[in-house]
């Protein structure tokens, strides 16, 4: 069928006016009438601006749709492609130069960055970790986990509670938290993963809220909304405080160097960088192993996979547990970086933010998730004036991405394989 | 049996009938396109604001008689919320009809964030409220104790029942209802038989939003206060009600709502109010694990 592109001013006008009318009905009461107690004030100027914006937007969109390029795009259908670009066999990515370079820059960063930059980068790296974990669950295995923040909270509170009640330090809790989060993921996931996929989203959402409400209400143990304090990490028993607390030695006395308050953050940063690199490497290898292939296959067609004999519960469970343990790791880093945890860090919005990172970065794309995590955590720091609009922008971003590029901004690339020439082939050549 | 038990049954019945009304939106949308409409709770929240705005504006123009005020506000809020339902479907879900399975879910979460933040930005983050419109109560004596049934609660129960009856009539007796049922049974076949399924889906969203508008009005009458975040928890609870009754089934949504409402009220009356949300979410997880088809639903069979 030929792409039909004809300029139709009448339809253009009709669409624009209809959109304006709709905007007036939708925005009119809520934007135009501001409640104040039992009274109200009128704000017609805001309604007028919004209606105007909608009309201009609709006009531009209709104009684009009537142009040849827009008509072609509409005919192609959105998001119909499989989303994976296959590269020729033997292709070697430029990333093999870029990755060591980035790693070197990362290692050098503490030497010239000030404390502010360092803390922002630490936060960015924590979200990279969270994004990578959720990317396994949502991007690779196709399981929508809306309570991901629960595992993050388990990691963070694991450190706080372990320190307060069992006298455990950062290094003991780090592996334990990953383990605890994975066990929690298994306990939650095992019964739920057998069922229809969409139910998982709502069960995990409920689970996330349950964890947050318990942390918030169990005053005797968790301190409720006031939160708990968290110890700083130690370096082979050396502490990063000016004066040692529990009979340890501060690092500057041991090495005989002047005290630097940044040292705690530099240390957290370096450990975090190492962990992120490790997780990146593990994830990179996993996607090329049978289990990684099984995740993606299950995402695409569950019935076909089960018909081929894959144990779908175990495959999904492995993704779910791996994702959860990564969040547990991130939680430990978050707690020690803040020096303090409280339940308000683990609301549903946090889950939505991590989901936005995965969605923007591209389902299953590692590089995309790393970039998106930095963009979505660093950008709000730079654009403080737009802080009120942050959530709105995330929402719009999620809807637009789903309509425009449901597979994310960065496409997943995969190097193709060429079959090794066998004897038959050689004989045929001869 | 003491008075508290019966009092909490009445409270639960009130709350539960409202859960049921919201659950209808989840259950109808799930029945017809198999998707959880995460933004539905926030549509309810918008409708609560619309109800308060309607009441404020109408009383400003000197309308103070309760029936006229309620009828006027209800008409205003149902129509505008219905338009919200239609617009949300048109923008966030319709373009994704043939996309991946996850896409509409994520888009719905985005829509939910948009609605929350949009209301917060335009109306402010503080709690809003409406004055008490209907005062007085019935007192029923049980032994030495008594139970109090305020007129507002009686009004809520009666109006929710009327709303349910009206919806049942629409679904079972009108042409639109027949089209809805046909589309729910088999969308492709319905399309072959000449039903414009896209339009039917849009209608379903409008119906769901209108029911949420009814609920928003009623809850606001009872509690008086709400904020931009009110839709989140009530949305999950209404979804729990839909799942409890069997998702896709209309009587199930109402039954699930009432059972959940009463169970939650009894829990907060006898055990602990702080953990009543934990109880409701825990109930959701338990039902999904042990009886995912709910009370009145049929087990789903995946077909190739």
Closest approach of A199 to chain B, Cα-based (Å): 8
**Contact yes or no for A191 and B92 at CB 8 A:** no
pLDDT at A379 over 50: yes
Map out the domains of chain A as residue ranges: 9-73, 103-413
B206: confidence class by pLDDT, cuts 50, 70, 90:
very high
Answer yes or no: is B206 within a domain: yes
Closest CB from A39, A192, A198 relative to B289 = A192
What residues of chain A lie within 8 A of the CB of B131, using their CB?
38
Whether residues B302 and A303 touch (CB distance < 8 A) is answered with yes
CB contact under 8 Å between B284 and A206, yes or no, is yes
Say yes or no for a CB contact (<8 Å) between A398 and B102: no
The question of ipTM being above 0.95 is answered as no
Q: Which residue of B has its CA nearest to A202?
A: B236
CA separation for the pair A276, A369 (Å, rounded): 12
Q: Rounded to whole angstroms, what are the CA distances from A120 to A20, A113, A116, A361, B19? A: 42, 11, 6, 19, 43
* Cβ contact, residue pair B110, A396, below 8 Å: yes
Q: What is the pLDDT of residue A327?
A: 93
Q: Position of tokens 């001013």?
A: A9
Per-chain mean pLDDT for chain B: 84
SS3 B302: coil
Total domains in the fold of chain B: 1
- Cβ-contact A211, A153 below 8 angstroms: yes
Between A258 and A2, the higher pLDDT residue? A258
CB contact under 8 A, A30 and B110: no
Cβ contact A319:A137 at 8 Å: yes
Band (A80; pLDDT cuts 50, 70, 90) = very low
In a domain, B286, yes or no: yes
What is the reported pLDDT for A253? 65
Mutate to test the interface with A, among B26, B78, B102, B123 (most CBs of A within 10 A): B102
| Alpha carbons B165 and B226: distance in angstroms, whole number | 27
**B1 pLDDT exceeds 60?**
no
Poorest-confidence range of A135-144, A211-220, A298-307, A417-426?
A417-426
Interface test with B, best of A387, A398, A404, A408 (most B CBs within 10 A): A398
Strand partners, B141: B146
Q: How many CB atoms lie within 10 A of CB B152?
A: 20
Q: Using CA atoms, how far apart are residues A349 and B89, in angstroms rounded to an integer? A: 23
Using the predicted structure, report yes or no on whether residue A326 has a pLDDT greater than 90.
yes
Among chain B residues, CA nearest to A307: B304
Sign of the Cα torsion A96, A98, A103, A107 reads positive
For residue B275, the chain A residues in CB contact (below 8 A) are 213, 217
pLDDT in tens, B7-60: 888 888 888 899 999 998 888 888 888 888 888 999 999 998 888 888 888 888
Residue A5 has pLDDT above 70, yes or no: no
Query: Would you say residue B301 lies in a domain?
Result: no
Distance CA A129, CA A369 (A): 9
Instruction: Place A4 in a pLDDT band, splitting at 50, 70 and 90.
Output: low
Mean pLDDT of chain A: 80
**For range A92-116, the mean pLDDT:** 77
Instruction: State which residues form the domain around B12.
Output: 3-290
CA distance B225 to B48: 9
- How far apart, in whole angstroms, are the C-alpha atoms of residue A383 and residue A398? 19
How many CB contacts within 8 angstroms connect chain A with chain B? 181
Do the domain assignments include residue B304? no
Whether residue B38 contacts residue B251, with contact meaning beta carbons closer than 8 Å, is answered with: no
Tell me phi and psi for residue A349, to 5 degrees.
Answer: -60, -35
Structure tokens at A405: 């590029």
Q: Tell the residue number behind the tokens 């129509």, with chain if given.
A: B79
User: Could you tell me which residues come within 8 angstroms of residue B241 by beta carbon, excluding any fewer than 6 positions away?
Assistant: B16, B19, B20, B22, B23, B253, B256, B257, B259, B260, B261
Residue A373 has pLDDT above 70, yes or no: yes
* Cβ-Cβ contacts under 8 Å, A394 against chain B: 110, 113
Residue A197 C-beta-side C-alpha neighbours within 13 Å: 22
Beta-carbon separation of A363 and B102 below 8 A: yes
Residue A224 has pLDDT above 90, yes or no: no
> Distance (Å) from the C-alpha of residue A415 to the closest C-alpha of chain B?
24
Contact A33 B57 (CB under 8 A): yes
**Torsion region of A167: left, alpha or beta (phi above 0 gives left; psi -120 to 50 gives alpha):** left
Q: Which residues contact B231 (CB under 8 A, 6 or more apart)?
A: B41, B42, B43, B44, B45, B46, B112, B115, B116
Q: Would you state the pLDDT for residue B302?
A: 56
Q: Do A392 and B118 touch (CB under 8 A)?
A: yes
- Report the gap between the CA of B302 and the closest CA in chain A (Å): 8
DSSP B36: -
Q: Evaluate if residue A196 carries a pLDDT over 70.
A: no
How many angstroms away from the CA of B289 is the closest CA of chain A?
Answer: 6
Nearest residue to A340 (alpha-carbon basis) of A231, A245, A225? A231
Longest pairwise C-alpha distance within chain A: 92
Q: Nearest-CA distance from A138 to chain B in Å? A: 9
C-alpha distance from B144 to closest chain A C-alpha (Å): 35
**Is residue A78 pLDDT above 50, yes or no?**
no
Residues of B in contact with A396 (CB under 8 A): 110, 114
pLDDT tens profile A241-286: 666 666 666 666 666 666 666 777 888 888 888 899 898 888 888 8
Is residue B296 included in any domain, yes or no? no
The residue to which tokens 């539960």 are assigned = B16
To probe the interface with A, which of B111, B113, B115, B209 has the most A CB atoms within 10 Å?
B113
Residue A287 and residue A273: Cα distance in Å, rounded?
21
Residues present in chain B in total: 304
Which region among A286-290, A387-391, B214-218 has the lowest average model confidence (pLDDT)?
Answer: A387-391
> Contact at 8 Å (CB) between A398 and A353?
no
Chain-chain contact of A213 with B278 (C-beta, under 8 angstroms) = yes
For A40, which of B46, B56, B107 is closest by C-beta distance?
A: B56
Which of A34, A78, A403 is facing B123, going by the closest CB pair?
A: A34
Q: What radius of gyration do chain A's Cα atoms show?
A: 26
> Residue A276 and residue A125: Cα distance in Å, rounded?
7
Residue bearing the bigger pLDDT, A185 or A232: A185
At A278-320, the pLDDT tens digits run: 988 888 888 888 888 888 888 888 888 888 888 888 888 998 8
- Contact call for B284 and A203, based on CB within 8 A: yes
- Count the residues in chain A: 430
Instruction: Spell out which residues of chain A touch residue B53, defining contact as CB-CB under 8 Å.
Output: 29-30, 33, 35, 40
Question: A84-87 and A412-415: which strand pairing?
Answer: parallel
Using a CB-CB cut-off of 8 Å, the residues of chain B touching A138 are: 102
CB-CB contact of B160 with B214 (8 Å): yes
Distance from the Cα of B107 to chain A's closest Cα (Å) equals 4
Residues of chain B positioned with their CB less than 8 A from the CB of A80? 98
**Partner-chain contact A392 B114, CB within 8 Å:** yes
Interface test with B, best of A298, A395, A397, A412 (most B CBs within 10 A): A395
What residues of B are in contact with residue A195 (Cβ under 8 Å)? 288, 292
| Beta carbons of B83 and A22 less than 8 Å apart | yes
Cβ separation of A403 and B107 shorter than 8 Å? yes
**Is the pLDDT score of B293 beyond 90?**
no
DSSP state of B90: I
pLDDT at A258: 67
Tell me the nearest-neighbour CA distance from A427 into chain B, angstroms: 43
CATH code, domain carrying B63: 1.10.3470
pLDDT above 70 for A135: yes
Instruction: Report pLDDT for A330.
Output: 92
Indicate if the pLDDT at residue A325 is higher than 90. yes
Report the run of H or E that residue B129 belongs to, with start and end: strand B128-129
Evaluate whether residue B92 is within a structural domain.
yes
Which of B31, B79, B95, B114 should be substituted to probe chain A, the one whose Cβ sees the most A Cβ atoms within 10 Å?
B114
Sign of CA dihedral A11, A13, A19, A25: negative
Residue B300 belongs to some domain of the structure: no
CB contact under 8 Å between A210 and B106, yes or no, is no
Q: What is the least distance, in Å, from the CA of B234 to any CA of chain A? A: 12
Nearest chain B residue to A80, by CA: B99
Asked if the model's pLDDT at residue A183 lies above 90, the reply is: yes
pLDDT confidence of residue A1: 39
Lowest model confidence (mean pLDDT) among A281-285, B101-105, B177-181, B257-261: B101-105
Place of tokens 């301190």: A223
Q: In B, which residues are within 8 Å of A407 by CB distance?
A: 100
- Quick check: A123 pLDDT over 90? no
- Tell me the pLDDT band of B220, cut-offs 50, 70 and 90: confident
Q: Between A39, A198, A348, which is nearest B56 by CB?
A: A39
Residue B295 lies in a domain: no
Of A185-199, A349-363, B197-211, B279-293, where does the model show the most confidence? B197-211
Do residues B35 and B269 lie in contact, with contact meaning Cβ atoms separated by under 8 Å? Answer: no
Q: Using CA atoms, how far apart are residues A198 and A427, in angstroms rounded to an integer?
A: 54
Q: Residue A3 — pLDDT band, cuts 50, 70, 90?
A: very low
Section A203-221 average pLDDT: 84
Mutation target to probe the B interface, by most B beta carbons within 10 A, among A30, A70, A186, A412 is: A30
Q: Are A333 and A272 in contact (CB under 8 A)?
A: yes
């Amino acid at each position: 069928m030929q792409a039909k592109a004809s300029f139709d001013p009448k339809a253009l006008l009709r669409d624009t006016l209809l959109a304006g009318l709709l905007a007036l009905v939708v925005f009119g009461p809520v934007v135009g009438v501001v409640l104040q107690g039992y009274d109200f004030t009128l704000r017609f100027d805001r309604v007028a601006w919004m209606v105007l914006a909608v009309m201009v937007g609709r006009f531009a969109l209709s104009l684009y749709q009537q142009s040849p390029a827009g008509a072609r795009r509409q005919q192609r259908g959105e998001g119909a492609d499989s989303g994976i670009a296959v590269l020729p066999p033997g292709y070697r990515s430029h990333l093999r130069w870029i990755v060591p370079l980035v790693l070197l820059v990362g290692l050098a960063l503490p030497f010239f960055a000030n404390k502010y930059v360092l803390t922002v980068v630490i936060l960015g790296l924590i979200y990279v970790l969270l994004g990578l974990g959720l990317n396994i669950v949502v991007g690779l295995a196709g399981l929508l986990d809306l309570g991901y923040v629960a595992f993050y909270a388990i990691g963070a509170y694991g450190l706080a509670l372990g320190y307060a009640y069992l006298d455990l330090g950062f290094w003991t809790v780090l592996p334990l938290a990953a383990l605890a989060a994975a066990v929690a993921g298994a306990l939650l996931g095992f019964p739920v993963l057998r069922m229809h996929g969409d139910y998982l989203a709502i069960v995990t959402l409920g689970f996330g809220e349950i964890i947050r409400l318990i942390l918030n209400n169990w005053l005797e143990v968790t301190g409720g909304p006031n939160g708990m304090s968290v110890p700083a990490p130690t370096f082979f028993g050396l502490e990063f405080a000016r004066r040692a607390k529990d009979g340890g030695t501060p690092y500057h006395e041991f090495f005989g160097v002047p005290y630097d308050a940044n040292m705690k953050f530099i240390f957290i940063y370096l450990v975090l960088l190492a962990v992120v690199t490790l997780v990146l490497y593990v994830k990179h290898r996993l996607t090329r192993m049978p289990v990684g292939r099984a995740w993606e296959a299950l995402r695409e067609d569950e019935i076909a996979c089960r018909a081929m004999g894959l144990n779908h519960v175990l495959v999904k469970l492995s993704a779910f547990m791996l994702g959860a343990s990564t969040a547990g790791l991130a939680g430990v880093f978050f707690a020690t970086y803040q020096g303090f945890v409280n339940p308000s860090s683990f609301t549903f919005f946090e889950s939505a933010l991590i989901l936005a990172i995965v969605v923007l970065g591209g389902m299953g794309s590692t590089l995309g998730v790393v970039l998106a995590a930095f963009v979505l955590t660093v950008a709000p720091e730079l654009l403080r004036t737009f802080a009120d609009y942050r959530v709105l922008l995330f929402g719009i971003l999620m809807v637009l991405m789903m309509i425009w590029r449901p597979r994310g901004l960065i496409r997943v690339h995969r190097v193709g394989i060429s079959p090794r020439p066998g004897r038959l082939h050689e004989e045929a050549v001869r | 049996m003491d008075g508290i038990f019966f009092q909490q049954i009445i409270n639960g019945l009130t709350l539960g009938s409202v859960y049921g009304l919201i659950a209808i939106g989840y259950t109808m949308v799930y029945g017809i396109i198999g998707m959880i409409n995460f933004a539905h709770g926030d549509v309810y929240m918008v409708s609560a604001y619309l109800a308060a705005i309607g009441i404020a504006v109408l009383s400003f123009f000197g309308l103070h008689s309760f029936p006229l005020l309620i009828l006027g506000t209800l008409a205003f809020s149902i129509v505008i919320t219905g338009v919200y339902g239609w617009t949300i479907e048109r923008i966030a879900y319709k373009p994704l009809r043939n996309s991946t399975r996850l896409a509409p879910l994520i888009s719905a979460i985005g829509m939910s964030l948009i609605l929350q933040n949009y209301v917060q930005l335009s109306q402010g983050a503080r709690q809003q409220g409406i004055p008490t419109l209907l005062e007085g109560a019935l007192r029923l004596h049980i032994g030495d104790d008594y139970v109090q049934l305020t007129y507002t609660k009686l009004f809520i129960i009666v109006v929710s029942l009327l709303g349910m009856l009206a919806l049942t009539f629409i679904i079972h007796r009108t042409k639109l209802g027949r089209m809805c049922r046909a589309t729910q049974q088999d969308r492709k076949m319905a399309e072959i038989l000449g039903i414009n399924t896209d339009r039917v889906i849009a209608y379903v969203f409008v119906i769901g939003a209108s029911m949420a508008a009814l609920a928003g009005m009623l809850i606001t009458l009872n509690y008086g206060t709400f904020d931009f975040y009110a839709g989140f928890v009530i949305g999950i609870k209404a979804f729990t009600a839909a799942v409890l009754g069997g998702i896709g089934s209309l009587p199930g949504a109402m039954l699930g709502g009432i059972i959940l409402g009463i169970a939650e009220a009894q829990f907060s009356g006898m055990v602990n109010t702080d953990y009543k949300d934990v109880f409701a979410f825990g109930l959701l997880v338990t039902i999904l694990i042990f009886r995912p088809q709910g009370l009145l639903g049929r087990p789903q069979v995946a077909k190739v």
